[in-house]
Amino acid sequence: MQRAVDLLALYDAEHPSRSVRELVTATGLPKSTVVRLVHTLEQCGLLWSRGDGRTVPGPGLLRWAELARTTWQLPEEALARLRALSEAGGGESVGLYVRQGDARVCVARHEGTRSLRHVVHVGAEMPLWAGAAGHVLLSRSDRAAVTAVAAQGPDPEGAALLWERVQRAAERGWSVSHGEREAGISGAAAPVFDAEGRLTAAVALGGPTVRFTDEAVAGFVPALLDTARALTALGSIGGTGR
């Protein structure tokens, strides 16, 4: 299953169709394995063989696309809140992230208006061990869980540092990060809860580190916290209430 999903992940805007040969090169798997995986994915409707011998994401995904849209589409009022936060943040981009296993996934966003801006697509997966949204999403986890997540990162010494950042996020109710995931990118994030007070998501502002000075961050944290509270009040993340 995971291998099949990883194979599908090789299709994107730059590679809308793939030949078996390309898939073999991209995965490093034996050709026989790739052929078998492609066949399985075709049977499930997740890949489709075009007449020209190339495969494309299958029409079975169309139903899943509808499912994803129904589940994750935020109400207009919540999207308006993301937009307002982007404006309050001086035109930086805003993203809403949920935890998915050991990753965080962007489930909604409002792209900033600056010419140098942080661009994240809905559906994009990012590591949980890096970035302000990661700290926030881990802020209800215990040390063992945080250490396990840190072990996914590149730095064997990273666990103590991540735990410190996560604790800080839990204490003050927001977090800021500079270049943890990618040099030159900063973020500030705050937690969103469901109606029963469980941590559900992190709302984050993201942009170039050069614009995330301590002064600038102090300036937009109130708007960030306001937005997080408004999203908590609106609910509906992951189709809550349905």
Q: Give whichever of 156 and 241 is closer to a copy of itself, judged by the CB atom.
A: 241
Among 116, 119, 122, 218, binds a copy of itself (CB under 8 A): 122
What residues contact residue 145 under an 8 Å CB cut-off, 6+ apart?
A: 138
Does 9 sit near a copy of itself (CB under 8 A)? yes
Does 13 sit near a copy of itself (CB under 8 A)? yes
* Residue labelled with tokens 């705050």: 190
Number of chain residues interacting with a copy of itself (CB under 8 A): 60
| CA angle (187, 188, 192) in 5-degree steps | 125
Other residues' Cβ atoms within 10 Å of the Cβ of residue 86: 25
Does 53 sit near a copy of itself (CB under 8 A)? no
Does 61 sit near a copy of itself (CB under 8 A)? yes
Among 30, 62, 142, 182, binds a copy of itself (CB under 8 A): 62
Rounded distance, CA 228 to CA 88, Å?
Answer: 14
Within 93-112, the residues that bind a copy of itself by CB under 8 A are 98, 100-101, 103, 105-107
Among 57, 112, 131, 187, binds a copy of itself (CB under 8 A): 57
